[in-house]
Structure 1
Amino acid sequence: MNLAVLAVILVIYVAIISYLTYLGSRQTRSAEDYTVAGRQMSGWIMALSYASTFISTSAIVGFGGAAGMFGFTLLWLSFFNIFLGIFVAFIFLGEPIRRMTKNLGATTLATMLGERYQSKFITWFIGLMIFLLMPPYTGVVLIGGARFIEESLHISFQVALVVLAVIIALYVGWGGLKGVMYADAFMCGMMLLGMVILLFKTYAVVGGVVAGHQALTNMASLVPEALKKGGDLGWTAMPQWGSPIWWTVISTIVMGVGIGVLAQPQLILRFLTVPTKQALNRAVLTGGICIFFFTGTAFMVGPLTNVYFHDTVGKIAIAAAKGNVDLIIPSYINAVMPPAYIYLFMVTLLSACITTVNGLIHVQSVAFSRDLLATWNIKANPLTLSRIGVLVGAVAAVVMAFILPVSIIARATAFWFGICAAGILPALLGAIFWRRVTKAAAVWSVALGYGVSIFGFVFLHASEAVPFGICKAIFGRPTLLPDPWTFVDPLFYSIVISAAALIFITLFTKPLPREHVNRCFAGLGKTQEVTPEKVVA
C-alpha cells in the first residue's frame, strides 16, 4: 500500500467532513439546533443520514462476517431492515413521532415518552438505559472500523481505536446534529460507491451469480462439524427448524435487529429533524436504495467469501480469518481487491464507523444532558452539558472496545437492538397510536421490557450468560433453564411481556387527562376528543 497516496486521500476526506461539520457548527446556536438540527433538515439529507447511521461497521464487518459463517439466511435481516426500518418507520411511525414531539416541545425520544405519559420516571429511566447500555454497541462499531484499519495499515488495533474515537468526539461536540447530518450525507455517498463496487467485484471473482451460488451450494459438506451439529445445513440453505443455529440466526440476528431498528433512539431522532410529513415520504426511496446496497451487499458477499478462500487457499472463510468472524470481511477485501479499492473501502468503512458512532455518541450526550440532568433539575448550559456527555460517551465506548472479546460485533449489536425493542417499542407504539393508554401501563411496560430482557441475557441466553458469569456465580450453573431457552433471544418473551403489561394495565387504570391527550395528538388524524372511560376495578 502506498502510504503517501493514502495520506492524501485521508487528508482530503477529513477536510471535506471538517468543512461540513463547520457548516453545521455555524448554524448551531441553540439547544434545539444541537439536538434536532432546528427541525428544518431536508428529506434527502435526513434519509442519507438515517441510512448511514443505521448501517455501521457492525453491519458491514460484523454481520458480513456472520453471513460468512451462517450463509444467505441473513438476507432476511436485509429484508426486515428495508421493510420495517425504512418503509414502516418512515411512512407509519415518522410523522406521528415528529408531530407529537413538536406538540410537546420534546427533543429526544425519552423526553417525548415522558411528556406523553406525564412521567419523569420514563424520561430519566430510558435516558439512563441509553447512557449505560449504549456504550457496548458504540464500542463494537469502533471495533469494526479499527479492525479494518489494523488489517490494512498494519498498525496497532489500540492506536486505531483511540484515533477514531478522538476524531468522532471532536466532530460531534463541535458541529451538533446539523454538522453530523451534513457529514453523514457525504459519507453515505462514499459508502454507497464502495459497497456497489464490492458487490459487483465479488460476483466477478466467483464466476458470476449462478456459478458462485452453485459453488457455494456444493461446499455444504465443508461446514464445520460444530455448526452441523447445531443445525447448519449449508451456506445456501436455511438452518434446521428449531435447531440452536436456527434460534441464533433467526431469533437473535434477524428478528432481534430487524424489529429492534424501530426503537433505536439515534434513528428516531432523525424523524424530528424534518419540517413536514412530505419530507419523510420523499425520503423512503433514497433510504431504501441505500439500505439495500449496504446490508444486501454485506450479506451476499459474506457467504461468497467461502468460495474465494476455498479456491485460493483451500480453506473456508472462518478458517482463513483464523477463527475471528470479525476479520472475514477485512481479510477478504485485502486479499481480493487492488490497492486503489482498498483506499476507497477504507474510506467506506471509516464513513460507516464515523456516521454511526457520531449518531450514538450524540444520543448519549443528549440523554446525559436532557433526559438525565435536566429531569433531575441540574441547572447548567445545555450545550456545555451535552459536550460533557460527548466526552463521557466516547471514553466509555473506547473502554468497552478494549475489553470486549473477539467475534463480538454481531452479538453485541443484536443485544442492544433487542433491549431497545423490548423496553421502548410497545410504549412508543402505544404513545402514538392509542389515546387511551395510561401512565401506569407505560411505566410498567418500559420497566418490564428492559428488566425481563436484561434478565434473559444475564441468566438464560447462553451467548451472553456464559461470558457474563453472573448466573454461574450466583446459582452454580451457566444458565437457569435448559435448551431451547439457552438459544431463544430474550426479545421473544420480553417484548410480549412488555406489550401485555401495556395493554392489560391500561384497561384497569385511569386514563390521562383529556386536555393533555388532545394536545399530544393535535394535528394527527381526526382531532376527536378523548372522553373519560369507566375504570374497571
Structure 2
Amino acid sequence: MTSEHQTLALFLFSVFVALTLAITSWASRSRHGTAEEFYAGGRLFSPLENGFAISGDYMSAASFLGISGLIALYGYDGVLYSVGFLVAWLVVLLLVAELVRNCGRFTLADVVAARMRARRVRIAAGTSSVTVSVLYLVAQMVGAGSLVALLLGASGGAQRGWAMAGVGALMVTYVVFGGMRATTWIQIVKAVLLMGGAITLTVLVLIRFHGNLNELLNTAAERSGHGGAFLGPGLRYGQDTVSRLDFISLGLALVLGTAGLPHILSRFYTVPTARAARRSVVWAIGLIGSFYLMTIVLGFGAAAVLGSDGVREGDASGNSALPYLSLALGGGAGSTGGTILFAIVAAVAFATILAVVAGITLASSAAVAHDLYTSLRRRHGRQGWSEVKVARVSAVGIGAVAIALALLARDQNVAFLVGLAFAVAASANLPVLLFSLFWRRFTERGAVWSVYGGLVPALLLVVFSPVVSGSEQALVPSVDFHLFPLENPGLVSIPLGFLFGWLGTVTSPSPADPARHAETEVRALTGAGAV
C-alpha cells in the first residue's frame, strides 16, 4: 500500500466522519430528550427517507466486503448469501413490517408484551435482542479491522484492535449524542454513497469484459483455480452430507433471520403510520435488490481480475477482495486512477461500517434500557435513571463487548459472521414474534420458552461447532472440542425455537387471555390505538 493510497483514503474517510459528526451535532441540538425522540426520531421520517435508512442499516460490511469475497473465493456457493439476504425481505414485507409498526413502540419486546404485559417476557426478548446485536456488531468490527490493515499496510492484531476501538468510539458518539435522528441521516448518506460506489465498480467490471457476462464468468472460473466447478454448486457446500445440511442451515438463517433483527425492526417505528412502514420496505427492497445483484457481478469480477491468489492476498477470508479489485480496475498499484478508486471504495466501506454499527448499537441499547432496565426497576420499585440515560450508558458497554469479541474473530469472513447472527435472530426472535402476532392461544410461558429455547441452543451449537474449534479456520484452532458438525446452527435451533414456543403454550397452567389477543389483533391489522 503506497502512501498516496493511505493519504487519500484516510482523507476521504475523515471527510465522511466530519460530515457524520456534524449531523450528530445538529441532531443533538434539535432533540427534546424524550424516549420517542431518542429511540424513534420523533416518528417523523417519510417512507422514502426510511427506505434509504433501512437500506443503509442492512447493507453492512458483510454485504459490501464479505459477500463479494465469498463469491470471489467460492463462486456459485457464495451467491447464496446475496440471494438469501434479498429473499429475506419478502418475509419482512409480508409478515412483519406493518404489524410490528402497529403493535410496538420501540423494541421487539413491545410487540410480544402488547398482549402479555409480563416482565419475564420482556426480559427474555430484551436479552435475545442484545445478544443478536452484539454478534452482528462483531462482524462489522472485523470488517473495520481488515480495512485499516489495508490502509496502513499493517496486519498485526494491535493495529486491528485500535481500528475496532476507533469505530466503536465513533458509533457510541453517534448514539449517545444524536440518537435515532442522527443515526437515520447517517444511514441515508451512507446508502447513497454505497449505491454510488457499487454502481461505479459494476460498470467498470462490465466495461473490462465488454459487457459480456459469459466472458466474465469463464474468466473467473479459469483464474479461480477451480475450473468449471467454480460455476457450479459444491465448492464450499455440497461435497458431503454434512456440507449439504450446512447449506440448508445457512439458507434458513439468511431468509428467516432478517425479520428477527432488532435494528431492522426498530426502523419501522420511525415512520408515522403502518402504511408508511410498508412503503418503506418497498423502497428498501428496490435498493437492496439492486445492490445484491451488483455484488454478484463484483464477486465474479474480483475472481476474474485478481485471480485466487490476488483475492487472498490481503485477507485469506476474502474481505479485501473488493478494495483490491478497485485498485486493479483503476489502473493498478501506483496509478492515479487506482489510487483514487481504491480510496473511494475504502472510504465507502468505512462509511458502511460506521452507519451500520450506529444502528445496531442504538437498537441494543434500547433493548437494555427499555426492556431489561425498566423491567428490573419496576420489580424493585425504584425510580433510578431515566431510560434515555441508561441507553446512552449501555451503548458504551455494548461497544466494549463487541470490540473484545471482534478481536477473537478477526480472521473470519464478515459475511459468515453475520450468517451466525442471522441464525440466532431466526431462532430466538422470529418464533416469538410470529406466535405473538398470529397464534391466539400463545401464552406467557410459551413466549419465554420460545425465546430461550431458540437462543440457548443456537449459542451452544455455535460454541461446540467447527467455527470455534477443530479446524484451521476456527477461532481457537489449537484445540478441538467441537461436537456439532455444522458451522451454522439454524437447521436445528430455528425449529427448536418454534417447538419450545408450542410446548410452553400447551403446557401452560392458565390459557391465554382471548380478549387481549383480540385487542392486539385489531390493533395489528388496523392500526387502531397504535402509537
Shorter-normalised TM range:
0.7 to 0.9
Which residue among 479, 482, 485 is the counterpart of 1:479? 482
Q: Partner residue of 1:518?
A: 518
Distance 1:158 1:527, change over 3 A: closer
**Contact 1:436–1:512 (Cα < 8 Å) also in 2:** yes
Which residue number in structure 1 is paired with residue 335 of structure 2?
A: none
**Who is 2:466 aligned against?**
462
By how many angstroms is 1:358 displaced?
A: 0.4
Q: Are the counterparts in 1 of residues 52 and 284 from structure 2 also a CA contact under 8 Å?
A: yes
What do the CA deviations read for 1:318-354 (whole angstroms, capped 9, x no partner)? 5444634323333333333322222321231122101
2-side partners of 1:241 and 1:415: how far apart? Answer: 21
Q: For residue 209 of structure 1, report the CA deviation from its aligned partner.
A: 1.5
Give the aligned partner of residue 32 of structure 1: 36
1:196 lines up with 2:204 in the alignment? no
Q: Distance in 1 between matches of 2:468 and 2:415?
A: 12
Equivalent in 394, 402, 409 of residue 389 of structure 1: 394
Q: Is the 8 A contact 1:206 1:308 kept in 2?
A: no
Whole-Å Cα distance in 1 between the matches of residues 311 and 50 of structure 2?
37
**8 A Cα contact 2:467 2:475, kept in partner:** no
Residue ranges of structure 2 left out of the alignment (5+ in a row): 331-337
* Matches of 1:416 and 1:28, distance apart in 2: 33
Aligned match of 1:350: 350
1:527 and 1:297 map into 2 onto residues whose CA distance is 37
Which residues in structure 2 correspond to 1:76-115 (within 5 Å)?
Answer: 76-85=80-89, 87-101=90-104, 106-115=105-114
Using a 3 Å threshold, how does the CA distance of structure 1 residues 277 and 512 change in structure 2: closer, same or farther?
same
Q: CA deviation at 1:287?
A: 0.9
Range that drifts further, 428-437 or 204-213:
204-213
Whether contact under 8 Å (1:180, 1:358) holds in the other structure is yes
Q: How far did residue 487 of structure 1 move?
A: 2.6
The aligned counterpart of 1:251 is: 249
Between the aligned partners of 2:514 and 2:146, the Cα distance in structure 1 is 54
Alpha carbons 1:66, 1:302 under 8 Å: kept: yes
Match of 1:186 in 2: 189
How far apart are residue 367 of structure 1 and its match?
Answer: 2.0
* 8 Å Cα contact 2:64/2:295 also seen in 1: yes
Letter aligned with residue 434 of structure 1: W
TM-score (norm 1): 0.85
Q: Is the 8 A contact 1:65 1:326 kept in 2?
A: yes
Give yes or no for the alignment of 1:13 onto 2:13. Answer: no
Mapped to 2, the partners of 1:526 and 1:115 lie a distance apart of 15
Question: What is the distance in 2 between the residues matched to 1:365 and 1:285?
Answer: 27
Letter of the 1:326 partner, please give it.
Answer: N
Q: Name the structure 1 match of 2:417.
A: 412
Aligned-partner SS, 2:461: helix
**How far apart are residue 19 of structure 1 and its match?**
3.0
2: CA distance, partners of 1:218 / 1:469: 34
Partner of 1:205: 208
Q: Give 1:414 deviation, angstroms.
A: 1.4
The answer to whether the 8 A contact 1:28-1:176 is kept is no
Q: Where does residue 333 of structure 2 map in the other structure? A: none
Alignment of 1:424-503 (within 5 A): 424-459=429-464, 461-466=465-470, 467=474, 478-480=481-483, 486-487=485-486, 489-503=488-502
Amino acid at match of 1:333: S
Q: Partners of 1:304 and 1:243 in 2: how far apart?
A: 30
Answering whether residue 290 of structure 2 is matched by residue 293 of structure 1, we say yes
Q: In the superposition, relative to structure 1, how do residues 218 and 499 fare at CA in structure 2: closer, same or farther (>3 Å)?
A: same
Q: Deviations over 1:487-522 (max 9, x none)?
A: 363211221122123235434544322332233233
Alpha carbons of structure 1 residues 309 and 527: separation in structure 2 relative to 1, 3 Å: closer
1:448-498 CA distance string (max 9 Å, x none): 111222222223x3223534779x99xxx6333xxxx61363211221122
SS at structure 2 position matched to 1:522: helix
Residue type of the alignment partner of 2:501: L
Check 1:10–1:369 CA distance in 2 against 1; reply closer, same or farther (3 A cut).
same
The alpha-carbon distance between structure 1 residues 362 and 250, as it changes in their structure 2 partners (threshold 3 A), is same
CA, structure 1 residues 159+507, in 2 after alignment: closer, same or farther (shift >3 Å)? closer
Structure 1 residues 91, 27: closer, same or farther in 2, change over 3 A? farther
Q: How does 1:154-165 map to 2 (within 5 A)?
A: 154=153, 156-165=159-168
Which segments of 5 or more consecutive residues in structure 1 lack a partner in the other structure?
A: 225-232, 529-537
Shift of the 319–190 alpha-carbon distance from structure 1 to 2, 3 Å rule, reads closer
- Aligned 8 A contact 1:65 1:329 in 2: yes
Cα distance in 1 between the residues matched to 2:282 and 2:368? 34
3-state SS, counterpart of residue 523 of structure 1: helix
Alignment size in residue pairs: 500
Aligned to 1:333: 326
- Write out aligned runs for 1:42-81 (5 A): 42-81=46-85
Deviation at 1:171, TM superposition (A): 1.2
Checking the alignment, whether the CA contact within 8 Å between 1:75 and 1:296 is kept in structure 2 is no
Deviation, 1:317, is 4.5
CA deviations on 1:382-425 (whole Å, 9 max, x unpaired) are 22111101111122222222232412423321111101111111
2:334 matched residue in structure 1:
none
The separation in 1 between residues aligned to 2:354 and 2:32, in whole angstroms, is: 20
- Please report the TM-score for the alignment, with normalisation by the length of structure 2: 0.86
